[in-house]
Every structure is written in structure tokens, then in C-alpha cells.
Chains A and B, each alone.
Chain A
Amino acid sequence: AAGVIQSPRHLIKEKRETATLKCYPIPRHDTVYWYQQGPGQDPQFLISFYEKMQSDKGSIPDRFSAQQFSDYHSELNMSSLELGDSALYFCASSHPTGKTGNTIYFGEGSWLTVV
């Protein structure tokens, strides 16, 4: 079965540079989430999109932005990178089952290292 696809898997950037992460959700999933997981931390919610519209916003810095495109893929843009942005970035997607809690599936993550 198709899973959530993230690219690139690994990324090294210098401080003050810009990075873009891409996410391709599972087909027919209508919601995409972005999470940031720092070393030894639990994942922190950044932002989500439902049917290509931003639906929820978490602890996303103003330097970051995201969007979901007509083909449902999503991109997370990070500018003016700081050392503290080094983390594992997850994209996840969910399917409308009508139940209380649709299962949320995660991609394998994108490792960002800022040097």
C-alpha cells in the first residue's frame, strides 16, 4: 500500500539559508499535518491542511510557511534557518472515515541539519 512520501530524506543547510521539504500524502487522504521533532523530544505540531486550506496552526515559527497544492502534495518552507531548527520533520496524512479519530499515518521524516 502507498505510504506518505517525504523528500528529501536528509538535508544539510547553513544558518540563514532556506530549505523546502515536500510531502506526498497517501492517495485520497484529505488532511496533511507537519510535525517537528527535536533530538530527544516528542513531535510538535506545526501546521495542518484540510482540502488544501490551512486548518490548524501549532507552534510554527513565523520564518516557516507551508501550503498544500491542487494535487494534495504539501511543502514546508523554512527561511533564515537557525541551529535550533535542526530536527526531524514529519509529514502525516489522514483519511475521512467518519469515525471519531481517523488514523494518522506518518512519512519516514526529513532530517534537517543546520550548520
Chain B
Amino acid sequence: AQKITQTQPGMFVQEKEAVTLDCTYDTSDPSYGLFWYKQPSSGEMIFLIYQGSYDQQNATEGRYSLNFQKARKSANLVISASQLGDSAMYFCAMRVPSMDTGRRALTFGSGTRLQVQP
């Protein structure tokens, strides 16, 4: 079974500063994918960044980067130069590929609510 743990229910950060949101995971599968999603108060689930277990380099997407430490089973999201619009709930999720014709669904963590202060 897969498990995602986000230990920070809430985080505060000053505008223009960087912030790290923690995520640890547990799986016995050697092949897996890690995702981060942003959910603003309006409710939609917005894909931010993806890291594959075999990827040699940490993923980056604009102001988002993923600090992937495989041995520690952690996949922390780093947001640089925070903006007021970054205030939202952030979910870490994991997916293990299915061995049959289907595709396994994502397992989500409990989320971290980030508030960016001016």
C-alpha cells in the first residue's frame, strides 16, 4: 500500500520569500511518480510539478521545484519568491503504475494550507 504524509497542516510565508512544503511517502514499489497539486479556495485542483522515481534530476517548473531525496523518501515542494496568489492548499500525491492494462489512481496526502502574507 502507498502512503503520503504531509506533517504541516498550515504554513505562513512572507511575500517574495521562499517556502518549503514537506512531503514524505512510503511504497515498496521501485517505480512510482510523485505529484504536487495546488487547490485554491475556489476548489479546482491545479497540477504543479511531477517527479518520477527514476528521474536523475530534481523537477522544476518555473517558481516550483521538487527537492527529491529518494533515500529519505521525501519529495518536498519549494516555492520561490512567494506571491499572494500562492495562498492555497497544497497536496502531495503519489502514483504507482499498474501492472495490468489499467492505471492506478493517485494517493493524496492530507495537504498543507499555505498563507502568503504581504
Contacts and interface: CB of A to CB of B under 8 A. Distances in A.
Given A42-B109, A42-B111, A43-B108, A104 B98 contact: no
The dominant DSSP class at the B interface is: loop
8 contacts: A31-B103, A42-B91, A43-B108, A55-B100, A56-B104, A100-B54, A108-B44, A109-B45
A89 B112 CA distance: 20
A50 interface: yes
Interface residues of B, number: 31
The dominant DSSP class at the A interface is: strand
Interface of B: 31-35, 37, 43-47, 50, 52-54, 91, 95, 97-98, 100-111
Contacts of B107: 45
B52 A99 contact: yes
Given A45-B107, A101-B95, A106-B37, 8 more contacts: A42-B111, A53-B102, A55-B98, A55-B100, A56-B103, A92-B106, A99-B52, A106-B45
Interface of A: 31, 33, 35, 42-43, 45, 48, 50-51, 53, 55-56, 58, 88, 90, 92, 94, 99-109, 111
